[in-house]
Structure 1
Amino acid sequence: MPYTPSGFFCDRLIRERERRDGEGSLSKPLRFSGQDFTALRQECLAKKSLFEDDTFPASVESLGYRELGHKSNKVKNIVWRRPKEICENPQFIVGGASRTDICQGDLGDCWLLAAIACLTLNEKLLYRVVPQDQSYSEGYGGIFHFQFWRYGDWVDVVIDDRIPTFNNQLVFTKSAERNEFWSALLEKAYAKLHGSYEALKGGNTTEAMEDFTGGVTEFYEMKEAPKELYKIMKKALERGSMMGCSIDSLVPARFETRTVSGLVKGHAYSVTAVEECKQSQHKASKVRLVRLRNPWGQVEWNGPWSDNSKEWVSLSKGEKDQLQHQSAEDGEFWMSFEDFKKNYTKIEICNLTPDALEDDKIHKWTVSVNEGRWVRGCSAGGCRNYPDTFWTNPQFRLRLLEEDDDSEDNEVACSFVVSLMQKNRRKERKLGANLFTIGFAIYEVPKEMHGNKQHMQKDFFLFNSSKARCKSYINLREVTQRFRLSPGEYVIIPSTYEPHQEGEFILRVFSEKRNTSEEIENRIEADHTVPAPANAGEESEEDQQFRSLFQQIAADVSTMPGRPVSAWGSEMEVTANELKNVLNRVVSKHKDLNTEGFSLECCRSMIALVDMDGTGRLSLQEFRHLWNKIKQWQGIFRHYSSDQAGIINSYEMRNAINDAGFRLNNQLYDIITMRYANEGMNIDFDSFISCLVRLEAMFRAFQAFDQDGTIRLSVLEWLQLTMYA
């Protein structure tokens, strides 16, 4: 994990506050690494110095960690240079940004470059990612910035313009124009976003498409493509959607290898146009054509409708001009739609809004975005194959409120798209992280449970089958699928395939009509049902033993020099260390409780919970009050203890906490698991008691200051509450 638990949750709280203030929107993007482009550029211009980015330095660390790391021979001769050191008259953009400005270098990021090529087809989108207020003349300070959509937020990424070179040539992405640098700088900013250039090696075109647009992607396998695929593709391009395609390579050793026809297997292409043309010698004949671009900037299709093929003779000059046909080894080529379907295995369409591509109407979709987290031992329950833990996954309630306008055959249904995206796996690759295999299932909520925001329990999933689910669990950054269901209330369960896999995700729901989706969060509250102290006639043998022990301790310490006289009169009071001795002597006799013994720190927290007079010690009355609580909690612990092993599985902890009178949300259960579970994801007796003591103490402290569900504290009050707890 990149954060300590406390650091992670503080960071999350800060992000949530920023969103409430409008941060993360297109008009007010988050500052990546806290860098303000405008302020930094002004500072450089005032000092007449060129910006050097210490958050992404011109060093090996920015290049990579394995193949481009310190031990690699590839990096020894790489020199970082600014464009003014590479050529005369460098330009940010020459004659407008176009798809020919993107030529792949020595980095396996064709997936990214295919997406950039698609981006150039829509000026509005392009200049949202590549702000126009930057150049190599006016206001040049060696600093540039780019904007990306990142897991629900727009972020502004600042870089300096030092670029990796070898023999004064760009190592990675370059433009066909030697003095044009926008594409190389865009690649650098995207590398910074993910930690290094090497982190960009290998990927899916849709990943970058979504990061450029905030859109949602739908996949089509050619062998399962709908009959209307040509129409779908044409309408998608008309709407500004971005498209990529590829040819699967079944043999890993033949990855990115050329076929006889000039196409490359295991390689990403951009779809840049779809047209239908009339052939002059066949008056009634029309041909459907697709234009594609190879990010290499070379290596093209050599079959029918390739640059110099005989088929072009059948088109008039006007038709050819309209198609911008030219014979040049630039990586761009045309082919017939039929050959396109035969040769490519998959196509990806990134919709800026997931419009219903299968019909003629353009719909506005409602979008809801939810962030979540799988935490090992608490909310990383795995798929339905693991019924004991599946129910602990994060749950999101979906309400489909209105049916589609175009429902057929009197069918009342709502169209919607569910998109599950795992976060940060590319950035954490250098730490050994790979993409999880992820997916989701959708369950219908019974009418009697509508409006109930409680987490669905294990039995519900044991006795109810899913209403819909993704086609398969897959190890991609994102799993997306379109559904049609009746209006009503549903619960979406996103999960990894295997349990215990920890990571963050974002769940988006797009629907044609009004919908709401939100994480099922129990209302946070506590029932302070304190067991009534037993009277003298009801004392059990164990109670009598405690009274005897307490009196023995009191007698032992009464003669100690300097021992204070109790405010309770002749009765002595028990210190934290004495409480530790009492509890551990009794608990050690219960062989069914797995415990290492209560620590001194835990006993101090217990005293803080019931210490009504602020002495830091317990009277017999306070001691009995505490012990009644411990006995109640001991009964709950025994109920959930697995196989009499004297421990609670961390996944059962939420039920045990609920029985103890506390209703918490998923974030709090995650924190409790991280704080109190051991490496085996189990919680022993003393950790269980420590957790409940802390919960009750903090609830009580909050309620003392509560004003309509919020509290306002000075630094002194905050520290007083948290330090003595």
Structure 2
Amino acid sequence: MNFRKLKNEANEVVNLAGVSWLPLHLLKDDGYRISDPLSLSNFDKWCLWKDPWPFHVCQGHVGDCWLMAALMTICRRTKLMEQVVPRKVYALETGLVQVRLLIDGQWQVIRVDSHIPSIDGIEQCVMMPKKQAWAAFIEKAFAKKEGSYGNLHGGYSNQAFSCLTGALTKVVQMHDEIDQDQLWEDMIKYYSAGFLITAATPSLKEGTEEWELYEKHTLDHRHVYGVLDFKEYQGHRLIQIGNPGITRWSGKFASMSNYRYEDFLHFGFMDQCLADLKIWWMELPDFCRFFQRIDVCHYREGWHEKRLRQRVNRKNGQDFQIIRIDVKEKCEMAIEVFAERCTWREVRF
């Protein structure tokens, strides 16, 4: 896979000289891998994942925030994580990792080795705090599927959600006249149902008044964020946002504690730093003001699925065909139809 040329979030081609592919154990034990500078956790073994949190997803030089934001939303779902990157003892020892993705309507296992593109021993793709490699291997599997890391530049999280979960994704387009009360009610409903949510900011021209406003609030334009939690505080409706990057919202409620005190005490020093840098609260009116699009993945833990392939031969003059499905018991059902050999594209009903 090509990694020497790729595009960053600003859509600029980045040439990375001196890239080498190193196995995990040869990467440097840099500062962000240390859970606590006063402990010996720096010498922990590499693993696929162990108690991952959204702030462990740290985007690298690849412009794939759409994927990273989706990973921020799945990392606390243990069953889903086991489906995507199963923790098997032999995986890292043999240098091979299995990543399970939905491709063209069928589940496929993509095998990747444990060599990561790096410069001077520092990974250039998604970073790996606390020596957890799951996000880097998922990113590598997506890159293998698309032919290169550079081909991951640009997109929306519905692409990632489809591959990771197989579930339908609803897109909500934001606009000035949107009913905030209804939006809040809908998002609480989505969150309570266990759905996965991301939000994207618009693409802006540098130097414009709108661009300056985003810069003032240290919010990246043309970027996708994870939507992680909701709460009401003293009459304010707040949404917890996670940034795959490293800029932190500086608007209202930015200084509010991002996690419960008990959880924060459980975090090590580096986790506390990452949580403080990458996770924050934003009030609903600001959320509606700055975000352009919401992707809601209707993933439901415990649901069963059935997938099949069928050739549809339409006769001349036939505008449609009917497929009959016999359901023996009353249930809730979602039906999705994929067009074969159309990457990322599907017809939904």
Band the TM-score falls in, shorter-chain normalisation: 0.7 to 0.9
- Residue 239 of structure 1 is matched in structure 2 by 193
Contiguous gaps of at least 5 residues in structure 1: 1-61, 280-285, 355-363, 380-388, 406-414, 427-476, 479-505, 510-725
- CA deviation map 1:496-540 (0-9, x unaligned): xxxxxxxxxx5454xxxxxxxxxxxxxxxxxxxxxxxxxxxxxxx
Q: Which is bigger in relative contact order (C-alpha 8 A, separation at least 6)? A: 2
1:352 partner amino acid = Y
1:353/1:365 contact within 8 Å kept: no
Alignment of 1:261-410 (within 5 A): 261-277=217-233, 279=234, 286-296=235-245, 298-306=246-254, 308=255, 320-321=260-261, 329-352=276-299, 395-397=320-322
**What per-residue deviation string (whole Å, max 9, x for no partner) do you get for residues 323-356 of structure 1?**
96978543111111222122212111000259xx
Find the residue that maps to 2:94 and give its secondary structure.
coil
Aligned CA distance change for structure 1 residues 421 and 303 (closer, same or farther; 3 Å): farther
Do the aligned partners of residues 162 and 420 (structure 1) sit closer, same or farther apart at CA in structure 2, a change above 3 Å counting? same
In 1, Cα distance between equivalents of 2:333 and 2:292 = 26
Partner of 2:118: 165
Residues 370 and 508 of structure 1 are in contact (CA less than 8 Å); yes or no, is this contact kept in structure 2?
A: no
Distance 1:114 1:367, change over 3 A: same
Q: d(CA) in 1 for partners of 2:341 and 2:108?
A: 15
Deviation of the 1:143 alpha carbon: 1.3
Is the 1:119–1:125 Cα contact (8 Å) retained in structure 2?
A: yes
* Other structure's SS at 1:127 match: helix
Q: 1:144 to 1:401 in 2, by over 3 A?
A: closer
Pair 1:218-2:175 in alignment: no
Name the SS for the 1:96 alignment partner. Answer: coil
Q: CA deviation at 1:77?
A: 1.1
2:107 maps to amino acid: W
Q: Which amino acid aligns with 2:172?
A: Y
Q: Give the AA of the match of 1:97.
A: P
TM-score by length of 1: 0.38
Which residue matches 2:38? none
How far the C-alpha of 1:321 sits from its partner, in A, is: 3.2
Question: Given the superposition, is the C-alpha separation of residues 420 and 191 from structure 1 closer, same or farther in structure 2, using an over 3 Å criterion?
Answer: same
Gaps of 5+ in 2: 8-12, 30-42, 266-271
Amino acid at match of 1:345: Q
CA contact (8 A) 2:3 2:150 kept: yes
Gap change, CA 1:320 and 1:101, over 3 Å in 2? closer
Q: Which has the higher helix share?
A: 1
Relative to 1, partners in 2 of residues 1:143 and 1:237: Cα closer, same or farther, differing over 3 Å? same
What is the aligned partner in structure 2 of residue 81 from structure 1? 22
Offset at 1:392?
7.3
Question: CA–CA distance in 1 between the matches of 2:5 and 2:82?
Answer: 34
3-state secondary structure, aligned to 1:116? helix
1:116 has 2:56 as partner:
no
| Aligned residue runs from structure 1 range 453-602, under 5 A | 477-478=344-345, 506-509=346-349
Secondary structure of the corresponding residue to residue 148 of structure 1: strand
Q: Given that residues 4 and 15 in structure 2 are in contact (C-alpha distance below 8 angstroms), is that contact kept between their aligned partners in structure 1?
A: no
Instruction: Using the TM superposition, give the Cα deviation of residue 293 of structure 1 relative to its aligned residue in structure 2, in angstroms.
Output: 0.6
Q: Which has the larger radius of gyration?
A: 1
Q: What is the rounded CA distance, in whole Å, between the counterparts of 1:366 and 1:125 in structure 2?
A: 14
Give the 3-state SS of the residue equivalent to 2:93 in structure 1: coil
- Give the secondary structure class of the aligned counterpart of 2:129: coil
Matched residue SS, 2:15: helix
What is the letter of the counterpart of residue 226 of structure 2? S
Task: Report if the CA contact (8 A) 2:5-2:15 is conserved.
Answer: no
* Of 157, 165, 178, the match for 1:205: 157
* Deviation (angstroms), 1:320: 5.0
Q: CA shift at 1:74, angstroms?
A: 2.1
Instruction: Say whether the 8 Å CA contact 2:143–2:151 is kept in structure 1.
Output: yes
The code of the aligned residue for 2:297 comes to C
C-alpha separation between the residues in 2 aligned to 1:109 and 1:353? 25
- Displacement after TM superposition at 1:134 (Å): 3.7
Question: What displacement does 1:367 show?
Answer: 7.7
Aligned counterpart, 1:580: none
Structure 1 residue 295: deviation in Å? 0.5
The farther-off stretch of 81-90 and 241-250 is: 81-90
- The equivalent of 2:145 in structure 1 is 193
The one of 49, 59, 63 aligned to 2:2: 63
- Give the conservation status (yes or no) of the 8 Å contact 1:79–1:164: yes
SS state of the match for residue 76, structure 2? coil
1:125 to partner: Cα distance: 0.9
Q: Tell whether the 8 Å contact from 2:174 to 2:292 is kept in structure 1 after alignment.
A: yes
Is the partner of 2:277 in helix, strand or coil?
A: coil
DSSP-derived class of the 2:26 partner = helix
The aligned counterpart of 1:156 is 109
Of all paired residues, the percent bearing the same amino acid is 22
8 Å Cα contact 1:246-1:344 kept in structure 2 = yes
Preserved CA contact (<8 Å) 1:100 1:175: no
* CA root-mean-square deviation: 4.0
Q: Partner residue of 1:533?
A: none
What is the aligned residue count?
315
Q: CA deviation at 1:91?
A: 1.0
Give the letter for the 2:99 counterpart.
F
1:130 aligns with 2:85: yes
Are the counterparts in 2 of residues 262 and 299 from structure 1 also a CA contact under 8 Å? yes
2:194 and 2:300 in contact (8 A); partners too: no
Say whether the 8 Å CA contact 1:369–1:508 is kept in structure 2. Answer: no
- Structure 1: distance between partners of 2:50 and 2:4: 37
**What SS class does the counterpart of residue 173 from structure 1 fall into?**
coil
Taking a change above 3 Å as real, the CA distance of residues 252 and 302 of structure 1, as seen in their structure-2 partners, is closer
What does 1:606-685 correspond to in 2, within 5 Å?
Answer: none
Question: Which residue does the alignment assign to 1:99?
Answer: 54
1:368–1:508 CA contact under 8 A, matched in 2: no
Per-residue Cα deviation, 1:69-107 (whole angstroms, up to 9, x for no partner): xxx982441101001111465412464122122111111
CA distance in 1, matches of 2:51, 2:260: 23
Counterparts of 1:260 and 1:119, CA distance in 2: 30
Q: Distance in 1 between matches of 2:291 and 2:118?
A: 34
- In 2, the alpha carbon distance for the partners of 1:65 and 1:422 equals 33
